[in-house]
Amino acid sequence: MGENHLMLKRIARLEDEALSRLKEVKSLETLNDWRIQVLGKKSELVMIQRTIRELPIKERPAIGQHSNRTRKQLEDAFEKRKEELEKLRLDPLLKEQLDVTLPGWPVGLGSLHPSTQVLREIQSIFAEMGFQVFDGPEIETDLYNFELLNMPANHPARDMWDTLYISDTVLLRTHTSPGQIRAMRAFCPQPIRVILPGKCYRYEAITSRSEVMFHQVEGLAVGKRITLADLKGVLVEFGRKMFGPKREIRFRCSHFPFTEPSVEVDMDCLVCEGSGCSVCKQTGWVEILGAGMVHPKVLENGGYDSEIFSGFAFGMGPERIFMLKYGIDDIRLFFRNDLRFLRQFE
Ligand code: PHE
């Protein structure tokens, strides 16, 4: 009886082990190995069944029945697993297992491009001073880009802007100044206080200081009794909001056909505080924009009576402003899409 009991236990253990190993079987190939091991001629179960006839007669039925039942159970389990695996093979989606306990991938968050960031900062500084944003087209006509800005055909000043022409009369704007005419024609005879941000294009060799495409922000104020002092006040305010409360600006005489008088505006170098360094080329000053009083002819082209109205205009390059602020020495970095550069300004 004791030996009989041991035999039954052995069969039960064998069944348990075989079934738990069956759960690990993930392919039809390994399933076949399992079958050979568990139910094949050399399996433990078959060995046991062979020894039954050596047992005393009265013990044979119990062991025989038990081992047959086990065999049947293992065969059924085998068939069931085979069916499952065949289904998996046909349906690849079922094969994909989702382990919800694995740590997730961090979601890559984008951020605003440096040009967008600085454009928005410029816009909000001027918004505080009552300037609205006005939009002009990037594809312009020769008329708006040059002619109405007091540069008729063959005017030598056109050489200041190397132009990408689309046809004889259509071009990619070389500056945001044509927006001055568009704004004046839209607002006339109301007073104006607008900035015009946008992309500009120049047919230029790409270097660390010049790109074919870049942004500009134009500013325009038109009204009665607007003077150069207003321009200076607005630009000082801008310089200090953008670069810190200690900044000073200075005007240098210059020439643009659409402003009279014209100035170029420098700010004291924020790197060396004016004492001279490589950023300001030892002068203590860095150029930040071009500006001037709107030329009477341009006011007239915009529809305003230049005897009654006056105005100022300025144009700055936000990439340049950004470079000054963060000490960047190559404008090409802006449009190279190099994440190592862009991520520094997230
Ligand atoms: N449009 C000029 C440029 O691109 C800048 C400017 C704008 C100068 C407005 C005067 C007034 O260089």
For 109-151, the pLDDT digits (tens) are 889 999 999 999 999 999 999 999 999 999 999 999 999 999 9
| Residue written as token pair 């990408």 | 164
Whether residue 293 lies inside any domain: the answer is yes
Distance of CA 131 from the midpoint of ligand 1 (Å): 18
Which atom of ligand 1 is nearest to 262's Cα?
10
Domain count of the fold of the chain: 2
Q: Taking 80 as the threshold, does the pLDDT of residue 8 lie above it? A: yes
Boundary of a domain, candidates 44, 62, 95: 95
Predicted pLDDT at 278: 82
In the chain, the N- to C-terminal Cα span, in Å, equals 81
Which atom of ligand 1 is nearest to 315's Cα?
7
Backbone phi, then psi, for 125, in 5-degree steps? -65, -45
Contact 315 CB / ligand 1 (< 6 Å): yes
Distance of CA 166 from the midpoint of ligand 1 (Å): 22
Predicted pLDDT at 279: 79
Distance of CA 200 from the midpoint of ligand 1 (Å): 12
Which atom of ligand 1 is nearest to 314's Cα?
9
Contact 310 CB / ligand 1 (< 6 Å): no
The arithmetic mean of pLDDT across residues 161-180, rounded, is 96
Claim to verify: residue 46 and residue 132 sit in the same structural domain: no
Whether residue 302 lies inside any domain: the answer is yes
Predicted pLDDT at 271: 82
Claim to verify: residue 131 and residue 163 sit in the same structural domain: yes
Predicted pLDDT at 98: 77
Q: Can you give the residue range of the structural domain that contains 73?
A: 2-95
pTM listed for this prediction: 0.71
pLDDT bracket for residue 280 (50, 70, 90): confident
- Domain CATH number, residue 271: 3.30.930.10
High-pLDDT (> 70) share of the chain, %: 98
Predicted pLDDT at 95: 66
Claim to verify: residue 57 and residue 165 sit in the same structural domain: no
pLDDT bracket for residue 251 (50, 70, 90): very high
Whether residue 104 lies inside any domain: the answer is no
Boundary of a domain, candidates 64, 95, 126: 95
Claim to verify: residue 87 and residue 233 sit in the same structural domain: no
The arithmetic mean of pLDDT across residues 231-236, rounded, is 96
Contact 150 CB / ligand 1 (< 6 Å): no
Q: Are 182 and 144 in contact (CB under 8 A)?
A: yes
Claim to verify: residue 79 and residue 138 sit in the same structural domain: no
pLDDT bracket for residue 319 (50, 70, 90): very high
Cα 37 vs. chain centroid, distance in angstroms? 58
Backbone phi, then psi, for 58, in 5-degree steps? -70, -15
Which atom of ligand 1 is nearest to 174's Cα?
4
Whether residue 79 lies inside any domain: the answer is yes
Claim to verify: residue 177 and residue 323 sit in the same structural domain: yes
Contact 177 CB / ligand 1 (< 6 Å): yes
Whether residue 133 lies inside any domain: the answer is yes
